[in-house]
Amino acid sequence: MPVKVQNNLPAKKVMERENIFMMDETRSTVQDIRPLNIAVLNLMPLKEDTEIQLLRSLSNTPLQIDIIFMTTASYIGKNTPASHLNEFYKTFDEVKDRKFDGLVITGAPVEQMEFEEVQYWEELKEIMEWSKSNVTSTFHICWGAQAGLYYHYGIHKHLLDEKIFGVYEFRVHHRKEPLLRGFDDVFLAPHSRYTYMDHEEIANCDKLRVLADSDELGECILVSTDRKHIFILGHLEYDRLTLDIEYKRDLEKKLPIKLPVNYYPNDNCNLRPLLRWRGACNAVYSNWVNYYVYQETPYEWE
């Protein structure tokens, strides 16, 4: 799939080195098709890393996608240069009059705080409310999934005694759900979080369907019955070394961190981790774009 981005976005060069088809603005103007418009609300601190991960994940269908990156106006992170945000990102006020075929809401390192304590919570609530009428389908990731479950369905999160950190196995349910096409009976997914969503509240919510879970961690993939919301409580989009970088960063800072579970060969952090979740990642993003966005969105928004 050609993913269209701004000509000089740094992530574009990384994608091209990986032989992923990227379309710049010049070429897209001669395409006589109606591309899908997908906005990415990037709440992660290292925004350029997340851009690469998501562009890679969205590059697996034959559909053309125009990507708009969004950031919050109520909170400006310190880990991404202001010049990068000014050139490649829009605020909600700049796009709220538009219609989007899809919206991605990323995770954020704020899960140990109550939702209402997060500096940009009111702005995020406004975006999630806006998405009900202006977006065909929204894809929520990790804390973004927790925030969406709380806002849309009143599902609460709870602190864990110990951080979930590593690569975990999940079993698939409801195999006829289009989001799971191409999945095996079990799959692996990276996780890095301190909280979990209330299992009983999820079970009692008739507007949600659990598509993948495990006895150890609980829910991993959920979908709303109207298919407007996808929730991934892990990070299928993570790169091979994302957990490695996080682990060694925390070790260097002398923060309490355990070896990521089921990640390093022989639990040796000096060995290169095996990449074992890319197939599941490609399947879930491709299925979302095809079955929940492209097949459902109008050709022309009224």
Which positions are catalytic? 142, 235, 237
d(CA 73, CA 85): 11
Number of alpha helices (DSSP H) and beta strands (DSSP E) in the chain: 10, 12
d(CA 163, CA 257): 8
Where are the extended beta strands (E) located within 146-278? 157-172, 186-197, 208-214, 218-224, 229-232
Residue at 200: amino acid letter: E
Q: Are 46 and 80 in contact (CB under 8 A)?
A: yes
Q: Which of 184, 117, 179, 115 is CA-nearest to residue 151?
A: 115
Residue at 4: amino acid letter: K
Tokens of 37: 């418009």
CA quadruple 240, 259, 157, 47: dihedral sign:
negative
d(CA 29, CA 31): 6
CA distances in angstroms from 38 to 35, 178, 180, 227, listed in the order given: 9, 20, 21, 16
d(CA 255, CA 263): 19
d(CA 162, CA 258): 10
